[in-house]
Amino acid sequence: MPDTRVLSFHADYGCRHRNRCCTPGWPIEVTDAEGTSIERAIREGALTPPAGAHPLITTSPPDAGETRLLRIHHDRCVFSDNAEGGGRRIHRALGHQALPLACRQFPRQVVSDPRGVSVTLSHYCPTAADHLATSVAPISIVANAAAFPGGAEYVGLEADPALPPLLHPAMAMDWDNWWRFEQLSVELMGTASAPLGRLALAVEHVRQWNVDDGPLSVRLTSAFAVARSAATVPNVLGTPPQVMATCQTAVGAVPTNWRDAATAALGVTPALPVSDHVWRRFVAAHIFENWTAHLGEGLRTWFASVHAAACLLAHTGAPGRADLILRHLADSNALVARWNPAEHRPWF
């Protein structure tokens, strides 16, 4: 059975039923089977529908077929209430497997590749955000944690085994070296001083490799050694106006009907900084299991996504608001389109 890999500070995650996933204000799609199960439970009296409205609505976008959605009322799912111990009526009445897929998966963010499944968490979930502050585990990647067993339901990006991440637009990496690069990046974030600038140094050093230089694995080792030992580290985060510009780029990737929500999440003025402990873990969570590695044009694009996460956290001071924008409101392909131009200029 393939491994399931998570970050050490997420490894003991468990839902505490704090209802964030039930109250984001966006509609939740249900499959025909899920909708049928919900409607049958209502008919049989096992599930009480909200007063005054049918709980399911149906939309028929052009050329997209019929879609069924859970109705939203006052920015929350109609099956969400304030009951002690969790407000998800479907979960209480019918169990976890009866929930729509989006509810079952939240806050998991998943990539499946030839190695197995990698899972990070969205810190829009307050329980996941708590782990950033309370975890005492050294930052690392762990396999098959009790809360993330192999063979469980994980849905996300299915990476093409024949297409490993790109080093730059003209050259692909191989899977073993991509996994090693990811591991070294996570370790750097956990233990190095000024880790974001050192990661930029490592990216540029790795990116200069060509086949005449010997094995890429040797270049990876030397790149991160050079980055760790560098006496001068670039300030790649930038000035407050530069940070804000990066944040606005991310907001620009949000569909127009959710742009106001993203702007509100961003806020107007920079917040007080978060602790170094929280900052490192949040950025590590955007280094690991990063879709941009598979959708973008190279390591500079990948680093642009990590840099954007760091900027959003620097500006908002709130992991939940930063991840609301990056992981939920923004369109992934639109984000990558805005980050791909990074391939044409060094970071320092």
Give the pLDDT confidence of 47-87 residue by residue, as tens digits.
876 665 566 666 655 455 567 777 777 777 877 776 655 55
The overall average pLDDT reported for the chain is: 90
Q: Are 181 and 46 in contact (CB under 8 A)?
A: no
User: By mean pLDDT, which of 89-98, 206-215, 259-268 is the weakest?
Assistant: 89-98
pLDDT band at 147 (very low <50, low <70, confident <90, very high): very high
SS (H, E, C) the chain: CCEEEEEHHHCCCCCCCCCHHHCCCCCEEECHHHHHHHHHHHHCCCCCCCCCCCCEEEECCCCCCCEEEECEECCEECCECCCCCCCEHHHHHHCHHHCCHHHHHCCEEEEEECCEEEEEECCCCHHHHHHHHHCCCCCCEEECCCCCCCCCCCCCEECCCCCCCEEECCEECCHHHHHHHHHHHHHHHHHCCCHHHHHHHHHHHHHCCCHHHCCHHHHHHHHHHHHHHCCCCCCCCCCHHHHHHHHHHHHCCCCHHHHHHHHHHHCCCCCCCCCHHHHHHHHHHHHCCCCHHHHCCCHHHHHHHHHHHHHHHHHHCCHHHHHHHHHHHCCHHHHHHHHHHHHHCCCC
Cα angle, residue 42 at apex, residues 39 and 48 outer, rounded to 5°: 130
List the one residue out of 101, 127, 149 whose CA is nearest residue 16.
127
Question: Quick one: CA dihedral 26, 32, 34, 40, positive or negative?
Answer: positive
Please tell me the predicted confidence (pLDDT) of residue 202: 98
Give the pLDDT confidence of 217-257 residue by residue, as tens digits.
999 999 999 999 999 999 999 999 999 999 999 999 999 99
User: By mean pLDDT, which of 21-25, 45-49, 80-84, 307-311 is the weakest?
Assistant: 80-84
pLDDT band at 271 (very low <50, low <70, confident <90, very high): confident
pTM of the model: 0.92
Mean pLDDT of 153-181: 95
Distance separating alpha carbons of residues 212 and 118, to the nearest angstrom:
32
- Domain coordinates of the chain in residue numbers? 3-14+105-158, 20-103, 164-348
